[in-house]
Amino acid sequence: EGPFWRRRFTSWLQAVIHTYQQLVPERWEVEKRLRAESPLMAALVHLTGYRLLEAVHLLVTAGDVRLGTLLAQGGGRAAGHALLDHQLQVWHEAGILEKYVAPERVLVYKLLAGQVDEVVAAMDPRLMDWRRAFGLYHWFQLSPQAPLADVLRWYESAQQRQVAPAPAPYYEELAEGPSRAFGRRHLDVTYHLMCLAARHLSGLCLDRSGRAAGADGDEGMVAEGDGGHRWQAMF
């Protein structure tokens, strides 16, 4: 999985997130309201789709140049996680975070520090579908060199702990909303495509319940003949 593949995967995942957003009018309304009421939260929503330029522009336009600069310099790079994580710990022990820092700003700091679990759990479910949650683990939790199989394992772990939404099919999401129930029988075809990619690249695949399986644990997977051509077209 070289840099070129990872860039294409990021572009594809961003497109998937954007497409889902267009299909859910309620999300557009919530984002529009956030832009007017809370530029910080609106910027955070941009970050969940890895729209860094939009987030930086929104913050700078709102006069929050320091945070905008931090985003522009750090982005989702894992190199600065330890430093920012340590700084957050110092502020927490001094009582600064709870008393003087807006909750939305704390979430942005935590995301840049790689504390993805806390961000996913704190977000409004209407703004945190499984695609965005998966993307956050891919972009902010692990290093850019991490293989897709590792991202799937992190996301699977978050599902098991009922932190991240389950990869439910689109029609179930529309009917029920995002769910954190682990072990769903039906999973989104997009998630199956990711599993196919991971299996192709590293031998990992997931069974129908979302558990990691070996090369023989193919139950519930989209067959190569059914999904392989879609995968090649998307990547």
Per-residue pLDDT reduced to its tens digit, 61-107? 989 999 998 888 766 566 667 888 888 999 989 988 888 899 999 99
Domain annotation covers residue 219: no
Residues in the chain, pLDDT under 50: 203-235
Domain annotation covers residue 20: yes
In this prediction, residue 106 carries a pLDDT of 93
Q: Closest Cα to residue 49, out of 14, 3, 99? A: 14
Please count the helices (runs of H) and the strands (runs of E) in the chain. Answer: 14, 2
Burial grade of 48 (CB within 10 A; 0-12, 13-18, 19 or more): buried
Domain annotation covers residue 220: no
In this prediction, residue 79 carries a pLDDT of 60
Domain annotation covers residue 215: no
The total domain count for the chain is 1
In this prediction, residue 81 carries a pLDDT of 79
Q: Closest Cα to residue 183, out of 210, 212, 151, 219? A: 210
Domain annotation covers residue 180: no
In this prediction, residue 120 carries a pLDDT of 94
